[in-house]
């Protein structure tokens, strides 16, 4: 009897601790505190590049904890999909052969393994709606406070925010993202992200994840607060793609939500007018005038890289290494991946692996498209014009969490 009680106590304790770690993971998901290791492969033409530096994040520690606490679930998932895992290992081995920087690729494979681990755990064990929303809301509120202070002060805050991943930035920082409104230059807020666009995409996806997910239907108070916070973060990022996506998809959602239309037509009109007014104000704010030209050159370079490495790609994480060998019209800016996740993926993995992965994922892609169209479109729209869904820690793991919860 005593042995049975001890086992039950241990099981309950592990479950409660697991819920705490899940809560912490959701809360810290927008942060990027970590330690970069700048190896010789992390430099391009003598310039240090963060994308090429293996980094250990606080989130990595939480993922490790979740893996240990849920090892039985992970082992069952691995056994169930062992044939696919074996195939994936073959693809990784092939990709590594053609990789110019083996260390960079191996680090990327670790990120892929972490992505799958997060997906498996959140697919099987997730938080209940209230603590889930509470973690998102508190984390979002902290992010909104930091963003507002960054805009007002025109520089980062540091202090305690440094330990959440805030980088030191000011208007005088080279290549920093800026915006201009009526002749006044302001710092586009980064929050604890690597770029304002990454911040915008993160909360754009969360906005539509929360607004469409049935599990949050009964949590109207927390849900309303989080939707306000996330929409403000999208607008304050000054990311035109994210703002346009937010406006278009929000209009589509609210205009086709028949129950809301019949229940309160005035509420619908007020919501749409507020969204469009605020959105248009932020869209009039000017940012980088060379943004389109830079993106054009990045796309042009990516097509050259794909044509030269059509079948097997340049190796996971090696896009910048390959691009550094091409003509650089904007030397500082072009130490960034192509701003299109589809071109980036094909250039690194090749057409054979990319095609096979799409084929194997076709049923899941159809399910996301059918059951969560707004989520699908928000990723599609932003992914066509930026790379953060594949390259930045917070956005990558958010995809795993969202996909697992669909």
- Which domain covers residue 228, as residue numbers? 130-283
Ramachandran region of residue 387, left (φ > 0), alpha (ψ -120 to 50) or beta? alpha
Mean pLDDT of the chain: 86
Q: Which residues of 347-358 are buried (b: 16+ CB within 10 A; e: fewer)?
A: bbbbeebbeeee
Is residue 189 in a domain?
yes
**Alpha carbons 351 and 358: distance in angstroms, whole number:** 10
Helix or strand holding residue 26 (H, E) = helix 2-28
Give a yes or no: residue 171 inside a domain. Answer: yes
- Confidence at residue 179, expressed as pLDDT on a 0 to 100 scale: 82
Residue 150 in any domain: the answer is: yes
Examine residue 66 and state whether it is found in any structural domain, yes or no. Answer: no
CB 207 within 8 A of CB 247: no
Question: Taking a C-beta distance cutoff of 8 angstroms, is the pair 32, 394 a contact?
Answer: yes
Q: Which residues pair with 56 in a beta bridge?
A: 35
Question: Structurally, how many domains does the chain consist of?
Answer: 1
pLDDT digits (tens, 9 = 90+) for 361-406: 888 888 888 878 899 999 999 999 999 999 999 999 999 999 998 8
Query: Would 385 be classed as within a structural domain?
Result: no
**Cβ count near 324 (within 10 Å):** 19
pLDDT at residue 262 greater than cutoff 70: no
Of the pLDDT bands very low, low, confident and very high (cuts 50, 70, 90), residue 255 is confident
Beta carbons of 333 and 294 less than 8 angstroms apart: yes
pLDDT, position 333? 56
DSSP states along 141-168: HHHHHHHHHHHHHTB---GGGGGGTPPP
Strand, helix or coil at 23? Answer: helix
Tell me whether residue 151 is in a domain.
yes
Which residues lie across from 43 on neighbouring strands?
A: 48
Is residue 138 in a domain? yes
In a domain, 60, yes or no: no
Q: Each residue of 207-246: pLDDT tens digit?
A: 999 998 888 988 888 998 999 999 999 989 988 899 889 8
Q: What is the pLDDT of residues 126-161, one digit of tens each?
A: 888 899 999 999 999 999 999 999 999 988 998 889
CB 228 within 8 A of CB 186: no
pTM for this entry: 0.92
């Amino acid at each position: 009897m005593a042995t049975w009680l001890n086992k039950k106590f241990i099981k309950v304790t592990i479950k409660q601790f697991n819920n705490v770690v899940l809560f912490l993971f959701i809360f810290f998901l927008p942060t990027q505190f970590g330690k970069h290791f700048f190896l010789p492969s992390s430099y391009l033409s003598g310039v240090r590049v963060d994308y090429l530096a293996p980094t250990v994040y606080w989130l990595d520690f939480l993922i490790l904890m979740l893996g240990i606490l849920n090892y039985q679930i992970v082992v069952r998932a691995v056994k169930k999909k062992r044939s696919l895992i074996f195939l994936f290992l073959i693809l990784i081995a092939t990709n590594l052969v053609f990789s110019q920087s083996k260390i960079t690729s191996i680090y990327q494979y670790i990120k892929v393994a972490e992505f799958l681990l997060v997906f498996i755990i959140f697919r099987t064990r997730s938080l209940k709606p209230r603590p889930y929303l509470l973690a998102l809301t508190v984390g979002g509120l902290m992010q909104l406070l930091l963003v507002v202070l960054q805009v007002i002060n025109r520089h980062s805050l540091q202090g305690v925010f440094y330990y959440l991943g805030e980088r030191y930035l000011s208007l005088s920082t080279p290549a920093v993202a800026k915006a201009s409104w009526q002749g006044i230059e302001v710092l586009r807020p980064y929050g604890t992200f690597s770029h304002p666009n990454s911040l915008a995409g993160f909360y754009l996806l969360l906005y539509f994840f929360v607004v469409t997910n049935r599990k949050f239907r009964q949590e109207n108070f927390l849900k309303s607060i989080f939707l306000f916070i996330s929409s403000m973060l999208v607008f304050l990022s000054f990311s035109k793609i994210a703002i346009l996506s937010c406006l278009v998809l929000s209009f589509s959602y609210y205009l086709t939500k028949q129950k809301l239309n019949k229940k309160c037509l005035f509420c619908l009109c007020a919501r749409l007018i507020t969204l469009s007014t605020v959105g248009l104000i932020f869209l009039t704010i000017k940012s980088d005038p060379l943004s389109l030209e830079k993106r054009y050159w990045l796309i042009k370079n990516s097509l050259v890289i794909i044509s030269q490495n059509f079948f097997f790609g340049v190796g996971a994480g090696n896009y910048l290494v390959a691009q550094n060998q091409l003509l650089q019209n904007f030397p500082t800016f072009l130490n960034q991946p192509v701003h299109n996740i589809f071109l980036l993926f094909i250039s690194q993995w090749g057409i054979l692996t990319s095609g096979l992965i799409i084929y194997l994922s076709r049923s899941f892609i159809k399910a996301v498209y059918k059951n969560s169209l707004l989520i699908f479109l928000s990723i599609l729209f932003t992914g066509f014009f930026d790379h953060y869904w594949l390259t930045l820690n917070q956005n990558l793991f958010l995809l795993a969490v969202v996909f697992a919860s669909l």
